[in-house]
Amino acid sequence: MFTPRDRLLEIRNIHFGERILFRKNQFTKEIIMAKDIKVYDLLISCPSDVSEYVEMLEKEVNHFNNFFGRKNNIIVRTRHWSKDSYSEFGNQPQELLNKQIVDSSDMALGVFWTRFGTPTENYGSGTEEEIERMLSMGKQVFLYFLDKPLSPSKIDQEQYKKILLFKDKHKSEGIFFTIQDEKALVNKFRENLELYFDSITRGEEFKKSSSKKEILWVDDRPENNVYERNILEKYGLTFSLALSTQQALHYMKHNKFALIISDMGRKEGIREGYVLLEEIRKMDKKIPFIIYAGSKKKEHVDEALRRGAQVCTNNPGELIDLVLKNLLKN
C-alpha cells in the first residue's frame, strides 16, 4: 500500500501490458493511455555532497515527461539507490546495486562537486563504477561537474583530486559539462535530455528523408565539439575535421560536402572564420556555412549573414536544429 507521501502518478501502458509508476505532485492519478509508450530508465548517480539535487533532477524529468515525453510517447523513469534498491543477501553492496538498478538502466545521470565518493571493490567510488559500467555497455551518460564556490577548508583535497583525475580521463569524449550552479545544472540537463531524445525520435526519420551527407567541421580545437558531433551522428551524418583554413580549403578541393561549420578565432587569427568564409564563397556560392563561435550578439549575427553565412550561433541545440534544416533544403 502506498502512503500519501509516495505521491504516485500511475500510467497503464496498454501496449506493453504493464504498469509504470513514478512520483508526481501530492496525489494519485490514473491515466489510461491507449497508445504505444517507450519507457526509458534513468539512473541518477552522485556522491553525498550533491545528493540534495536528486529530487530537483527528478522534478526536471517529470517536467520532460509532461511536455516532450507526452508529445513523443516517451516516459523516463528515474532510479536512485535510496528509493529503488532493496536488502538482499550475498555479494558486495555495489554488486547488488549493479544487479538491481544499474545494469538494467537505459542511461545514467552523474553529478560531481567536491566529493568523489566511497570506494568499491573495483573502483574509486560507487558513482565512478556505475558511470563506467554504463559507458562500457554503450549506454547514454549525462555527466556534470559542479564548479560552485566552496571554502577551501571544507574541501577534502584527496577526494577532489580523484574528481580531477576522473574528469581528465574522459575529457576527450564529449560526455560531460562543467556548470556553475544548480540553475545551470537543471538548464543544461534539460537541454541535453531533449537533444538526446530528439535525435532518437527524429533520427531515423531524418535518415530516411536524406541521403548520407558529410559535413566539414573547421576548428583548431575539435575536442570542444565532440558532444555536438556525437548528437549529429545519430542522424546519420559524418564529418571531416579541419584544424585550419588551409586544411579546410584542401579538403574542399578534393571532397564534396553538404555543409560547413566553422569556429571564428583560431591560431591563424581572431576572425579566421570570416577568412575561410570568403575563400569558400569564391569556390561555392551555395554550400551552407554556419559559424559556431562564442558569441551570438546581434552585431555578430548580422555581420555573419552579410558576409554570406547562413547563421552564427553559440548554442548546441540551435546549431543541431539549423544543421538539420539546412540539409533538408538541399
As a whole number, mean pLDDT of residues 302-316 equals 93
Max Cα-Cα span within the chain: 72
- Looking at 3.40.605.10, 2.40.128.20, 3.40.50.2300, 3.60.21.10, the CATH number of the domain 210-329 comes to 3.40.50.2300
Instruction: Give the sheet arrangement for strand 176-179, strand by strand.
Output: 74-79, 38-45, 107-112, 140-146, 176-179
Q: Cell 555527466, residue?
A: 143
Q: Beta strands 238-242 and 176-179: pairing type?
A: unpaired
Which residue pairs, CB below 8 angstroms and at least 24 apart, start in 222-227?
223/171, 223/172, 223/174, 225/174, 225/292, 226/172, 226/173, 226/174, 227/174, 227/175, 227/177, 227/316
Q: What is the pLDDT of residue 90?
A: 67
Q: Considering Cα of 302, then 307, then 310, then 314, what sign does the dihedral take?
A: negative
Say if residue 30's pLDDT is above 70.
no
The two beta strands, 18-23 and 8-13, are antiparallel
Q: What ranges do the domains of the chain cover?
A: 1-36, 40-201, 210-329
* Residue 4 reports pLDDT greater than 90: no
Structure letter (DSSP) for residue 27: S
| Average pLDDT of the residues of the chain | 87
User: Where residue 35 falls among pLDDT bands split at 50, 70, 90?
Assistant: low
pLDDT band at 86 (very low <50, low <70, confident <90, very high): confident
Q: At which residue does the C-alpha cell 563561435 appear?
A: 293
* C-alpha to C-alpha distance for 236 and 227, rounded to whole angstroms: 15
DSSP state of 91: S
The answer to whether 263 and 219 are in contact (CB under 8 A) is: yes
Going by their DSSP bridges, the two strands 259-262 and 214-218 should be labelled as parallel
- Write down the pLDDT at residue 330: 67
CB-CB neighbours of 190 under 10 Å: 16
Residue with the bigger pLDDT between 299 and 15: it is 299
Predicted confidence (pLDDT) at residue 190 exceeds the cutoff of 70: yes
What confidence category does residue 297 fall into, taking pLDDT thresholds of 50, 70 and 90? Answer: confident
Mean pLDDT of all residues in 46-67: 95
Q: Which grid cell sits at 85? A: 534498491
Q: What pLDDT was estimated at residue 85?
A: 86
Binned at pLDDT 50, 70 and 90, residue 2 comes out as very low
Identify the weakest region by mean pLDDT among 27-41, 168-182, 230-244.
Answer: 27-41
User: Which DSSP helix (H) or strand (E) runs through 196?
Assistant: helix 182-209
- pLDDT at res. 124: 96
The C-alpha atoms of residue 62 and residue 164 are separated, in whole angstroms, by 31
What are the pLDDT digits (tens) for 203-222? 877 877 767 789 999 999 99
Would you place residue 286 in the very low, low, confident or very high pLDDT band (cuts 50, 70, 90)? very high
What DSSP line would sit under 102-123, residue for residue? ITT-SEEEEEESS------SSS
E strands, 257-323, where? 259-262, 289-292, 311-313
What percent of the chain is predicted at pLDDT more than 70?
88
CA distances from 20 to 12, 80, 104 (A): 6, 16, 16
Model confidence over 252-272: pLDDT tens digits?
999 999 999 999 999 999 999
Establish how many alpha carbons lie within 13 A of residue 167's alpha carbon, considering only the half-sphere containing its beta carbon: 19
What number does CATH give the domain 40-201? 3.40.50
Distance separating alpha carbons of residues 24 and 5, to the nearest angstrom: 10
Query: Which residues are paired to 289 by β-bridges?
Result: 260
